[in-house]
Amino acid sequence: MTAIMGIVNVTPDSFSDGGRYLDADAAVAHGFALRAAGADLLDVGGESTRPGSQRVDPAEEQRRVLPVVGALAGAGLAVSVDTMNAATAVAAVEAGAVLVNDVSGGLADPEMLAAVADTRADIALGHWRGHSDDMYARASYGDVVRDVVGELSARVRAAEAAGIPPARIIVDPGFGFGKRGAQNWELLRGLARVATLGPRLLVGTSRKRFLAEALSGAGEVDEARRDLATAVTSVLAAHAGAWAVRVHDVASTRDALRIATYRGE
């Protein structure tokens, strides 16, 4: 079954849960709760990538994430680090992370790919066209699926050229990153084409704006409704061949994936 990556935001400004888990102890407890709910992997991030967010100094990012990564990994849990900074990636791997989740696909920090190549960690390469403060200015596509596949292919080639074997590379089409509402839906419909890039496809639609926009004609779109929409799109991603889905609410997605694959045994 498609794996579930649980989100642990150690930030004051993430769009849906900023500040809830800024304290390291709270973040660690949240990580354990996500694991108990069925998460296969915990993605720890110290820098928000919500639209309009500002960059965080790598030293501050590391102050936030390293104690959490170390505590969770030290307890035997599989941990990834959500970062665009090579120095943070290396420090997190040294603290026990097994995966570097770079939403910029190695573009934000030119040292990232070589740094990860020197570790044993895997890397998730996200489709990205610029930082959060102006990413929608670059949301222009001829064919969004074709363009994403082409641009991600270039990032895969760059990772391989830097010395990262294909078996350690994961691709992420970057839902919401430099993509407006309808473009995300077109990309979701074309996920099977993105999945042809490699053996592992990571999909993250959790609580994103395009889900709320689709539901906005039927009353207030609170967190619970976004989580239900996330579970549905996670099932669609699984059917398209996703290796893993990245979500805030693990339990609802776990149940949705289980029902979608249940055969009455």
**Residue numbers annotated as active site:** 208, 246
DSSP state of 176: T
Angle, helices 250-261/223-239, rounded to nearest 10 degrees? 40
Q: Token digits for 158?
A: 């760059």
Q: For residues 80 and 99, is the Cβ–Cβ distance under 8 A?
A: yes
The overall longest dimension of the chain from CA atoms, in Å, is 51
Q: Which residues contact 21 (CB under 8 A, 6 or more apart)?
A: 8, 9, 10, 27, 30
Whether the CA torsion 33, 36, 42, 48 is positive or negative: it is negative
d(CA 21, CA 48): 13
As given in the structure block, the two tokens for residue 68 are 């959490």
Query: Is there a contact between 152 and 177 (Cβ–Cβ < 8 Å)?
Result: no
Query: In sequence order, which ranges of the chain are alpha helices (DSSP H)?
Result: 24-37, 58-74, 86-95, 112-117, 144-161, 181-189, 191-194, 209-215, 223-239, 250-261
